[in-house]
Amino acid sequence: MLTTGKKEFWFVVGSQHLYGEEALAEVKANAQTIADALNESGILPYPLVLQDLAVSADKITSIMKEVNYRDEVAGVITWMHTFSPAKMWIRGTKLLQKPLLHLATQFNESIPWATIDMDFMNLNQSAHGDREYGFINARLKKQNKVVVGYWERPEVRQQIAQWMDVAVAYNESFNIKVARFGDNMRNVGVTEGDKVEAQIQFGWTVDYFGIGDLVQYVNAVTDEEIDALFAVYECHYEFDYGTYSRENWEKSVKVQASYEIAIKRFLDDGGYTAFTTNFEDLYGMKQLPGLAVQRLMAQGYGFAGEGDWKTAALDRLLKVMSHNQSTGFMEDYTYELAAGLESILQSHMLEVDPSLASNKPKIVVSPLGIGDREDPARLVFDGKAGDGVVVSMADFGTNYKLLINEVSAYEPTVPAPNLPVARVLWEVKPNFQDGVKAWLENGGGHHTVVSLNLTTDQIITYAKLVGLEYVVIK
């Protein structure tokens, strides 16, 4: 997928000079043991790098300034081995502009009742230090994550790993650039929004381009490039000629190959990591980009249809957070209302993300009832099963609001031979009636990003970091 650059996290361990140099040497050794164990566990997606002990206000301030300055440092994990007076942390914590995780753990798992004395207790007083440190983060409204538990436990490491993914996505949020080919679909409300506010609050750059700017890139793609990419398609997908002659089918698919090359080149030239199209704005294009868009989503670019730049940026954000696993743009389409089977069929006119595919996609060419263009090629597949979250962001005039609904996706069991698009099916939580009702009452949109890889907690962690109002339906 599109890289976000090399990232690491800094491990900052709190103590103070009160206990003497010998005690501090032990604190440092224990911290190194924990850092090494976490790095060697294979659970953390990014390395954790131990820093100098946080034993004075000057030291803490200097570490946090360095974190802000270094692009490769995505966030800070703190641990209170001993008591570390919180006034020392105020300046540095206030300056810190990156995500913070307070790991409430302790070097020893059990209290050694047979040998414990005051020296041991002074050296191992995480419970004491946690409260002093937690107070100042709460008072500073730091929106830091707190993970509690013994550092050897897989579930503790898993929580750290999930937070790291959110922290890297938060950093990437300020680098998200959306190229909009055409404006929003005419008359549609929920896809609109305040782009200046989105840049202030989330860091998203949203730029408009006339479709002609892309057409120039399409026209510059060579036949050799198209043939080479077509050969890649042959390796990855089933070819379904349907009622078309092989020649006409290939001609249609190769139009999409030229779009894939052109859009990727356009995005990479401008540093864009997400984009939108609009079927109402295709002057000079033979087809609506379908297969091309799907292929680019699979490579990690964010996307949404009908000029919906909010969802495109959100798609890119969650793709970074999920390492582009089972995460993509989606649209609520059709209800299944039969008793006991209540669920929602998800799809889009073409552009369903193959990162959600449960089977090998096939390339299908089929007419598109809207847009008034040639029959476009698209990837058709069934979505995979799993529990996940579906997220939608809307502009409510005074503020942005994020809707988060937990869903349970399942693989379709009945064929749909006349449906020429990919399909994904899910049940909403807590149940169909209450889940859909809450979604509608809160003004959730029809364009969403779904992830079968991320958790509600991760989405909330991001929302808190950017001060984004959110509603959870579960």
Using CB under 5 A as the binding rule, whether residue 328 contacts Mn ion is answered as: no
Helix (H), strand (E) counts: the chain: 14, 19
Report the residue number, 48 or 344, with the smaller CB distance to Mn ion: 344
Residues 6+ apart with CB under 8 A from 441: none
Report the residue number, 331 or 395, with the smaller CB distance to Mn ion: 331
Instruction: Taking the CA atoms of 249, 250, 256 and 260 in sequence, report the sign of the dihedral they define.
Output: positive
Question: By CB under 5 A, which span of 36-44, 302-310, 382-390, 395-403 interacts with Mn ion?
Answer: 302-310
Using CB under 5 A as the binding rule, whether residue 351 contacts Mn ion is answered as: no
To Mn ion, the closest distance from the beta carbon of 305 in angstroms equals: 4
CB neighbourhood size of 98 (10 A)? 18
Report the residue number, 165 or 331, with the smaller CB distance to Mn ion: 331
Using CB under 5 A as the binding rule, whether residue 382 contacts Mn ion is answered as: no
In whole angstroms, give the CA distance from residue 14 to residue 53. Answer: 6
Question: By CB under 5 A, which span of 108-116, 229-237, 325-333, 463-471 interacts with Mn ion?
Answer: 325-333
Among positions 129, 193, 305, 328, the unique one binding Mn ion when judged by CB under 5 A: 305
To Mn ion, the closest distance from the beta carbon of 447 in angstroms equals: 6
To Mn ion, the closest distance from the beta carbon of 331 in angstroms equals: 5
Question: By CB under 5 A, which span of 47-55, 279-287, 330-338, 383-391 interacts with Mn ion?
Answer: 330-338
Say if strands 327-336 and 343-347 run parallel, antiparallel, or are unpaired: antiparallel
Binding footprint of Mn ion, residue count (CB under 5 A) = 3
Asked if 448 contacts 344 with a C-beta cutoff of 8 angstroms, the reply is: no
Residue 205 bridge partners (DSSP) = 177
Report the residue number, 239 or 333, with the smaller CB distance to Mn ion: 333
In whole angstroms, give the CA distance from residue 184 to residue 326. Answer: 26
Report the residue number, 240 or 280, with the smaller CB distance to Mn ion: 280
Torsion of CA 255, 258, 263, 268, to 10 degrees: 170
Using CB under 5 A as the binding rule, whether residue 331 contacts Mn ion is answered as: yes
Report the residue number, 154 or 189, with the smaller CB distance to Mn ion: 189
To Mn ion, the closest distance from the beta carbon of 349 in angstroms equals: 7
To Mn ion, the closest distance from the beta carbon of 185 in angstroms equals: 8
Rounded to the nearest 10 degrees, what angle do helices 246-270 and 291-298 cross at? 50
Closest by Cα among 406, 293, 301, 276 to 352: 293
Say if strands 48-50 and 8-14 run parallel, antiparallel, or are unpaired: parallel
Quick one: DSSP state of residue 18? G
Quick one: DSSP state of residue 243? T
Per residue, the 3-state secondary structure of 285-305, as one string, reads CCCCCCHHHHHHHHCCCEEEC
Report the residue number, 132 or 306, with the smaller CB distance to Mn ion: 306
- Return phi, psi of residue 331, to 5°: -140, 135
To Mn ion, the closest distance from the beta carbon of 357 in angstroms equals: 19
Question: By CB under 5 A, which span of 26-34, 76-84, 231-239, 305-313 interacts with Mn ion?
Answer: 305-313
To Mn ion, the closest distance from the beta carbon of 308 in angstroms equals: 7
To Mn ion, the closest distance from the beta carbon of 164 in angstroms equals: 32
Question: By CB under 5 A, which span of 148-156, 189-197, 242-250, 298-306 interacts with Mn ion?
Answer: 298-306
Report the residue number, 120 or 335, with the smaller CB distance to Mn ion: 335
To Mn ion, the closest distance from the beta carbon of 30 in angstroms equals: 54
In whole angstroms, give the CA distance from residue 271 to residue 174. Answer: 13
Asked if 34 contacts 100 with a C-beta cutoff of 8 angstroms, the reply is: no
> What is the distance in angstroms between the CA of the first residue and the CA of the last residue of the chain?
31
In whole angstroms, give the CA distance from residue 326 to residue 450. Answer: 8
In the numeric block, which tokens belong to residue 181? 């080919």
Question: By CB under 5 A, which span of 46-54, 103-111, 214-222, 327-335 interacts with Mn ion?
Answer: 327-335
Question: By CB under 5 A, which span of 85-93, 233-241, 283-291, 297-305 interacts with Mn ion?
Answer: 297-305
Using CB under 5 A as the binding rule, whether residue 332 contacts Mn ion is answered as: no
Report the residue number, 446 or 464, with the smaller CB distance to Mn ion: 446
In the numeric block, which tokens belong to residue 197? 């506010």
Report the residue number, 100 or 292, with the smaller CB distance to Mn ion: 292
Report the residue number, 190 or 214, with the smaller CB distance to Mn ion: 190
To Mn ion, the closest distance from the beta carbon of 249 in angstroms equals: 26
To Mn ion, the closest distance from the beta carbon of 348 in angstroms equals: 6
Using CB under 5 A as the binding rule, whether residue 290 contacts Mn ion is answered as: no
Closest by Cα among 134, 63, 51, 55 to 98: 63
To Mn ion, the closest distance from the beta carbon of 301 in angstroms equals: 17
Report the residue number, 258 or 311, with the smaller CB distance to Mn ion: 311
Say if strands 469-473 and 343-347 run parallel, antiparallel, or are unpaired: unpaired
In whole angstroms, give the CA distance from residue 364 to residue 253. Answer: 9
What are the residues binding Mn ion (CB under 5 A)? 305-306, 331
